[in-house]
């Protein structure tokens, strides 16, 4: 059984931003996205989708490299609704290639929606519980 079926990513692109930079921020977290853009209320809504098996590999690496497994787990559990896990991350941090769950910012967050039939298994793989910083699951 696959860990997930699809990953969707979206963010608003404000007039002070460049679409390509917002795409880069999204791709820094989730590779191989196929993008679409929509005009919505004077802003552009940029969405990306992928079914690539490697889609969550970058988040997996970032959570470990930044030593934020427990924080990531908390946000995954908080955003878990049925067969979807929704997390929001800071757009500027994503552009710099890091994950920051502080979504507050003048340019809004990047929203990541992970569609999965087995959310518990996915969370255990992506951000296992830890003790003294070492995964215990």
Tens digit of pLDDT per residue, the chain (137 long)? 588 999 999 999 988 899 999 999 999 999 999 999 999 888 899 999 999 999 999 999 999 999 999 999 999 999 999 999 999 999 999 999 999 998 777 788 999 999 999 999 999 999 998 887 777 76
Question: Which domains occur in the chain, in start order?
Answer: 6-126 (3.30.1440.10)
pLDDT at residue 110, rounded to an integer = 97
- Tokens linked to 30: 């989730």
Three-state secondary structure of 10-23: EEEECCCCCHHHHH
pLDDT at residue 106, rounded to an integer = 79
Query: Which residues neighbour 7 within 8 Å (Cβ) at sequence distance 6 or greater?
Result: 30, 49, 50, 51, 55, 56, 112, 113, 114, 115
pLDDT at residue 136, rounded to an integer = 77
pTM above 0.85, yes or no: yes
Tell me the DSSP string of 15-53.
Answer: TTS-HHHHHHHHHHHS-S-EEEEEEETTEEEEEEEE--T
pLDDT at residue 74, rounded to an integer = 95
Q: Residue 112 in 3-state DSSP?
A: strand
Q: Which residues pair with 11 in a beta bridge?
A: 46
Identify the CA nearest to 7 among candidates 45, 72, 59: 59
Tokens 């908390």 map to which residue? 74
């Amino acid at each position: 059984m696959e860990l997930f079926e699809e990953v969707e990513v979206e963010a608003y692109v404000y007039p002070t931003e460049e679409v390509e930079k917002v795409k880069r921020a999204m791709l820094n977290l989730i590779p191989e996205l196929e993008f679409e853009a929509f005009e919505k209320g004077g802003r552009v809504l940029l969405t990306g989708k992928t079914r690539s098996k490697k889609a969550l590999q970058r988040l997996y690496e970032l959570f470990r490299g930044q030593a934020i497994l427990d924080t990531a787990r908390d946000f995954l559990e908080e955003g878990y609704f049925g067969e979807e896990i929704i997390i929001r991350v800071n757009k500027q941090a994503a552009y710099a290639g890091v994950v920051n769950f502080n979504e507050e910012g003048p340019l809004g967050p990047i929203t990541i929606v992970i569609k999965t039939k087995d959310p518990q298994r996915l969370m255990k793989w992506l951000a296992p519980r830890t003790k003294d910083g070492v995964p215990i699951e």
